[in-house]
Amino acid sequence: MASRNPGVEFDPSWFETVHVNLPGIKRRAEQLGTRRTVKKQWQAAWLLRITTCIDLTTLSGDDTPSNVQRICFKASRPIRQDLLEAIKMHDKGITTGAVCVYPNRVADCVRFLKAAGASHIPIASVATGFPSGQVPLKTRLEEIRQAVDDGASEIDIVINRHYALTGKWKELYEEVCAMREACGEAHLKTILATGELGSLTNVYKASMVCMMAGADFIKTSTGKEGVNAIFPVALVMVRAIREYFHRTGFKVGFKPAGGIRTAKDSLTWMSMMKEELGDEWTKPNLFRIGASGLMGDIERQIFHFVTGRYAAAHELPMA
């Protein structure tokens, strides 16, 4: 971001009387889900833009250096070179927005991105007892510092859902402030775990509190909850971003994560960002999609655009 969100003093008057218009949000979400998508060369262009906004992710208990190496090389060359050449985009330096891994795998990312000639790709690391956050604050802060020391330039933290569910917004603000400080120059992405917050009103309040505490991004989910990135939640979050921008002049990014697997879905998410926040929020400094399998379907659609047929499994190696 050109100018990071520095945060503001805690002021509950910004959110304490907010009530979400649930029928209105549901109607808007339904509109997004049923609209016709872009086609042909415009679709290809949008899919390339989305590629640059993907946090290519592996967050499995059985992660090893080998599968981290695979996603690092995929992040550096997400679309087959001959396909990019066919649409005259081979010299544009298209990569994914970041790679996202557990803290223990950050050093592997540094090594493998360097080997791929792609050290400029950001490394995002989940931290703070991901996905539950149920560890002492001291431990969570140390995990952030260690990931940054190992080379992470973005930290995806999970908020303390207990504070949100019990209305302890000042306590949540103070914790996120401490996490922002622990990040140093690394950007802070706050995961709200919206599927566990109980109401859309809590989603709005948690969004605003995290931005007040200096979050660079707010993120829907860990990807491990029962309900992850869905449009009603996203609309509440992006409208909180819009309100925060109007109040402060600082732009905060948005990251949906969990369950976004198809190119068609990603196009709908991109159109929502463009319509709700404007074109600036369709670029990787202010929009990311947390996904592991999405990149494969995007490349498949680009292949179809170039060749007129869908690729066989062996023609598009998976990340």
Residues with catalytic roles: 219, 255
Tokens of 145: 């510092």
- Stretch (H or E) spanning 99: strand 98-101
Question: Quick one: CA torsion of 223, 246, 48, 300, rounded to 10 degrees?
Answer: 30
Nearest in space to 168 (alpha carbons), one of 124, 202, 140, 211: 202
One-letter amino acid for residue 45 of the chain: A
Question: Quick one: CA torsion of 69, 74, 75, 81, rounded to 10 degrees?
Answer: 140
Q: How far is CA 263 from CA 8, 53, 59, 253, 267, in A?
A: 37, 13, 21, 21, 6
Give the integer Cα–Cα distance in Å for 75 and 130.
23
CA max distance for the chain: 57
Tally the C-alpha atoms within 13 A of residue 288's C-alpha that lie toward its C-beta. Answer: 35
Tokens of 134: 């149920």
Give the integer Cα–Cα distance in Å for 75 and 109.
11
- Stretch (H or E) spanning 32: helix 22-34
Nearest in space to 249 (alpha carbons), one of 5, 2, 1: 5
CB 99 within 8 A of CB 56: yes
* Chain-centre distance for alpha carbon 177: 20
